[in-house]
Amino acid sequence: MMQAQDFEGLYAIIATPAKAGSDRMGAVDTVDLDETEKVINRLIRDGCSGLIVLGTTGECATLSDTDFRSFTACVIDSVQRRVPTFVGTTALGGHETARRLRHVSDLGADGSLLGLPMWQPLTTDMAIDYFAQVSELFPKLSIMAYANARAFRFAFPVEFWAALAKAAPTVTSAKVSRANGLLEQIEASQGRIHFMPSDMVIAKFHALSPETTTAAWATAAGMNPAPSIALVKALANGDTDAQKSLSAAIAWANAPIEPLVANSELFASYNIQMEKTRINAAGYSHCGPTRSPYNHFPAELADAARECAARWREVCRALEAVGVDQGPWLEMAQ
């Protein structure tokens, strides 16, 4: 089982590729398995250190059981244990969560990205017991806590992490997005949990705790993981100039979608649509339409997502041409 110190490099978060027509409620057999295999092989070939599937971008909530099973089997078979693979198993209740966890464990996944049940908000005691029972049932499966306060209506306070580290020893990582309280969380969990940030904020995490900030996750990997991989490597190598330049370039590429990301209510309604629109527009992979009922996306927001993709392609072209030389990156970010 993976421990906190084992997480390194870039973990690509992928969308679940959908066939044409998957935006209709009556659609069945919606997963494009050929594209799934293709994007996984490409991400691993291009240097990603790990893989995370079936989170929000992966449309975990909208896959049928049949699609869930066919997709997870394809993922594990495609990876062939080349990189650590975390499969999302979040469900509305504990029984369904356990069934999904058993399935991905039997397939040979290294771990699971696991959020809290979303029907009723959980109290801290409920949340701790939930993860504790998962640890007891699946003692060899590494759990990545999906610490999204907005989605799961749970604040993930410091006392939660302190109790979790003791009650649920298989929770050895957490997918997080904000550096607020990072040092307190690390101390509370006694270093047993790796708090993994996105590529957009990893520099902030690294500035606070360089010894524990050794990995990042990126949904942008579906557009091409090269900039995010380069940023993680620059931080690991102590290359301050490259880190600043790459951070600026990534921020420049993401600027068109920043108003959407910064608006919590808007982002909650259009997160998946934004990700799939920019991934499809970037051309590195094709994830198809968004599954019902989240298949509506205002035109102005779609245009912003496509502009983000165009900028990301420009960053990738510059990276391929000049590496992480500081000058071109700073010019691009101005």
Please write the tens of the pLDDT for every residue from 168-219.
999 999 999 999 999 999 999 999 999 999 999 999 999 999 999 999 999 9
Counted domains in the chain: 1
pLDDT for residue 293 is more than 90: yes
pLDDT for residue 254 is more than 60: yes
Mean predicted lDDT score pLDDT of the chain: 95
Residue at 271 is within a domain: no
Residue at 55 is within a domain: yes
191 and 162 Cβ atoms separated by less than 8 Å? no
Band of pLDDT at residue 326, cut at 50, 70 and 90:
very low
What is the per-residue pLDDT for 321? 86
pLDDT for residue 333 is more than 80: no
Which amino acid, one-letter code, is at 82? R
Check which CATH number belongs to the domain holding 49 and give it: 3.20.20.70
Residue at 130 is within a domain: yes
Tell me how far apart the alpha carbons of residues 144 and 131 are, in angstroms, rounded to a whole number.
Answer: 10
Q: Which residues pair with 31 in a beta bridge?
A: 18
Q: What is the average pLDDT across 279-286? A: 98
Q: What is the average pLDDT across 118-123? A: 94
Residue at 272 is within a domain: no
Residue at 63 is within a domain: yes
pLDDT for residue 327 is more than 70: no
Domain around 17: 4-236
Q: What is the average pLDDT across 310-319? A: 96
Please write the tens of the pLDDT for every residue from 137-164.
999 999 999 999 999 999 999 999 999 9
Please write the tens of the pLDDT for every residue from 31-52.
999 999 999 999 999 999 999 9
Residue at 218 is within a domain: yes
Residue at 260 is within a domain: no
DSSP result, 277-323: HHHHHHSS----PPPTTS----HHHHHHHHHHHHHHHHHHHHHHHHT
Q: What is the average pLDDT across 324-333? A: 50
The Cα-based distances of 260 to 144, 193, 286, 326 in angstroms read: 26, 30, 22, 29
Please write the tens of the pLDDT for every residue from 49-60.
999 999 999 999
Which amino acid, one-letter code, is at 115? G
